[in-house]
Structure 1
Amino acid sequence: MNKNLPHIVEPLLTWFDCNKRELPWRRDKEPYHVWISEIMLQQTRIEAVMGYYARFLDALPDVESLSKVDDDALMKLWEGLGYYSRARNLKKAAVAIMDEYGGAFPQTYAELVKLPGIGEYTAGAIASICFDEKVPAVDGNVLRVIARVQGSKENVLLPQTKKTVTEQLKKIMPQRAGAFNEGLMELGELVCLPNGTPLCDSCPLNEHCTAYKKGLTEQLPVRVKKMKRRRADKSVLYLTSSDGRIAIEKRPDTGLLSGMYQLPNVEGFRTEEELRDILQEWGVEPIDITFTKKAKHVFTHIDWYMKAYHANVKKHHDHFIWVTADELKDSYPLPTAFQKLL
């Protein structure tokens, strides 16, 4: 462990006490509130989460209501946040809490990490913030802060690096473990910014920071990605019937965007003539087909490139669900990728 690390505890806690943001999930230490916020904040900015968090808690104020919610209603509440498996795992975990713990939230890291969708970071956050357990919560912000403090050139995308940092933080974890973990996250969010642009002059840890002293903030942390991204081209059809209804269909129960609804689509970029033939194979008779727009949507490992076409159709077909615009807006969770084409 770098000799600087033990010295960050007190200045970090002092800074956090004076600078922490007033966020809705910080108003109390209710584990349900912290849990929902932490899951929403995965892969999503705080500013984007605020409205979703309020709406979610208004509809599902506790574990019991979450455990009983209809799947489509849950997906509708999550619509636009992306990474929809997070929402499905929330419900699975709520059901487990009701069945295995009588509705009482587990209070230890060891029990929390067993729940669906609750990994090491989220379990550490809940256990420390809500129950004062002295356990780290290591996310990307924390890895960046610690890498710079220690001047570490280890690849922060490797699981071993995260494991090492977790073990190091366990050795310096103070009594106020929750405040320490939140302070590290907050520092990464507000001061120790990514992409070589940290606000070092206002950082409470600068006198203990190797990267600051040696001018390494642009080089650290080291992030080396091994994975190649895939590309998928899609032709998407916005089909409207004579009474103004829109065709949608449900995606498979497994895989990307599982269980969500989508606009009908086919792989590859197709000509209007090819799309007319495809529609007829589906039992739908198009009156006209018109190209409307292009869009791109980025997932974790794959990029969708989409071309959208609008078609007025003479004939309904039971293969699709035909809904009004209001029903689509209120009752059917449509992923952001397809909303971009409406």
Structure 2
Amino acid sequence: MPENSALQNINTKKFQQDLVGWYEAEKRDLPWRRERDPYKIWVSEIMLQQTRVDTVIPYFNRFMEQFPTVESLASADEDAVMKAWEGLGYYSRVRNLQSAVKEVAERYGGTVPSDRNEFLSLKGVGPYTGGAVLSIAYGLPEPAVDGNVMRVLSRILTIWDDIAKPSTRKVFEEAVRHLIYKEDPSSFNQALMELGAMICTPSSPSCLLCPVQNHCQAFEEGVQRELPVKTRKKSDKKVRIGALVLQAPDGTVLIEKRPESGLLAKLWQFPNMELPVGINPRGALASYMETEYGMTVQINPEKVTDITHVFTHLTWEIDVYVGTVDVKVQKDRTAFVPAHEIETYAFPVSHQKIWKHVKGMDQ
């Protein structure tokens, strides 16, 4: 048993009954909760990472219509998969998911492995995803510790370890292993997640509505708003970018595919460059197009809009210009696309906004 006095003193059986009973009565009706298919549960868990439930629901339903099985996702065209994910962000999630699903199709005959080590060996499957899928789909007593669960248990057990440190996850995993309801690990893990999402929220926990308030050490001590302990991240880096929407004489628009790896890998975008401080954006963009693409372009004098896009670790401040090119030069990873087909390509949200604004100028 982990060395935590609150954990040693908790009435584990009563805690399980109170938590799971509340969950069974109050749980939200979510499409992936109607499933025991490990593939579909896996997809939902990947989508839910760093994304709100309300946002995920329509994406999950559409994704399942397009790729209802392991085999359908494994054999799907990568661009089609990226388009289906467009707008969810954190695109490495879906690239890793498709790679992992291909391995499931090839190595495991299309059946998601129920063995912990085999499942965790798949690309993009970490301890949380592994625990969630194995407990929900296969009923295995594996901990599924995410931010919600760490927040809930830090309060219930008054755990003062900094949850921003990767090593702290082990503390909470051990706590879950001690508390988990082995007769129904699926409901137990989902109940902890649901409690964190609906009741034990980050800044204003609804303690008077909490089904496990009687077990909560932080509530008893009045320190629930001080937990969990989480060190602040360093301030985000800001990057100024110039982006250019270029039209050829035949009305087609130049787009390019981002590199194979890195931020927003393999998504399509409009040509753009980081703008050094104090430089003239139009001149810089014209030189960039000449050097990188071999194209002489004419850029309108005024920028048409500016867009701010915030990532977890940096902020893009994008100045958007439009222009024309007289001679189309084809290069690797570039395409001149009819305007009415632009939206069939998968773009990051910032470049979707660019196109929405530019398209609106012509209407």
Same fold (TM over 0.5): yes
Could you tell me how far 1:278 is from its partner in structure 2? Answer: 3.1
Distance of 1:5 and 1:303 partners within structure 2: 47
Q: Which residue of 2 aligns with 1:313?
A: 325
Q: Describe the superposition over 1:154-194 as per-residue Cα deviations: whole angstroms up to 9, x where unpaired.
A: 11111221111101110121121010000000000111111
- AA matched with 2:294: G
- AA matched with 2:350: A
Q: Which residue of 2 aligns with 1:221?
A: 228
Task: Give structure 2 stretches of 5+ with no counterpart.
Answer: 356-363
8 Å contact 2:275–2:284 — kept in the other structure? no
Task: Give structure 1 stretches of 5+ with no counterpart.
Answer: none
2:294 corresponds to which of 283, 300, 304: 283
Q: Are 1:338 and 2:351 an aligned pair?
A: yes
Could you tell me how far 1:287 is from its partner in structure 2? Answer: 3.6
8 Å contact 1:108–1:133 — kept in the other structure? no
Q: Describe the superposition over 1:186-241 as per-residue Cα deviations: whole angstroms up to 9, x where unpaired.
A: 000111111x2111111001111122222222211111035453222211111122
Q: Are 1:176 and 2:184 an aligned pair?
A: yes
2:97 corresponds to which of 79, 90, 109: 90
Q: Are 1:152 and 2:159 an aligned pair?
A: yes
Q: Secondary structure at the match of 2:193?
A: helix
Aligned pairs for 1:46-57 within 5 A: 46-57=53-64
Distance of 2:189 and 2:238 partners within structure 1: 37
Q: What RMSD in Å do the two structures reach over aligned CA positions?
A: 1.6
TM-score, reference length from structure 1: 0.95
How many corresponding residue pairs? 340
Q: Secondary structure at the match of 1:159?
A: coil
8 Å contact 2:162–2:231 — kept in the other structure? yes
1:204 corresponds to which of 208, 211, 229: 211
8 Å contact 1:5–1:150 — kept in the other structure? no
8 Å contact 1:108–1:131 — kept in the other structure? no
Q: Secondary structure at the match of 1:309?
A: strand
Distance of 2:328 and 2:336 partners within structure 1: 8
Distance of 2:158 and 2:151 partners within structure 1: 10
Distance of 1:96 and 1:49 partners within structure 2: 25
Could you tell me how far 1:299 is from its partner in structure 2? Answer: 1.9
Distance of 2:178 and 2:23 partners within structure 1: 20
Could you tell me how far 1:283 is from its partner in structure 2? Answer: 3.0
8 Å contact 2:303–2:321 — kept in the other structure? yes
8 Å contact 1:15–1:204 — kept in the other structure? yes
Q: Which residue of 2 aligns with 1:299?
A: 311
Distance of 2:30 and 2:172 partners within structure 1: 27
Q: Describe the superposition over 1:62-96 as per-residue Cα deviations: whole angstroms up to 9, x where unpaired.
A: 00011111111111111111111111111111111
8 Å contact 1:89–1:116 — kept in the other structure? yes
Could you tell me how far 1:297 is from its partner in structure 2? Answer: 1.4
Distance of 2:123 and 2:233 partners within structure 1: 27
Q: Describe the superposition over 1:79-132 as per-residue Cα deviations: whole angstroms up to 9, x where unpaired.
A: 111111111111111111111111112113222111111111111111111111
Q: 1:4 to 1:295 in 2, by over 3 A?
A: farther
Q: Secondary structure at the match of 1:218?
A: helix
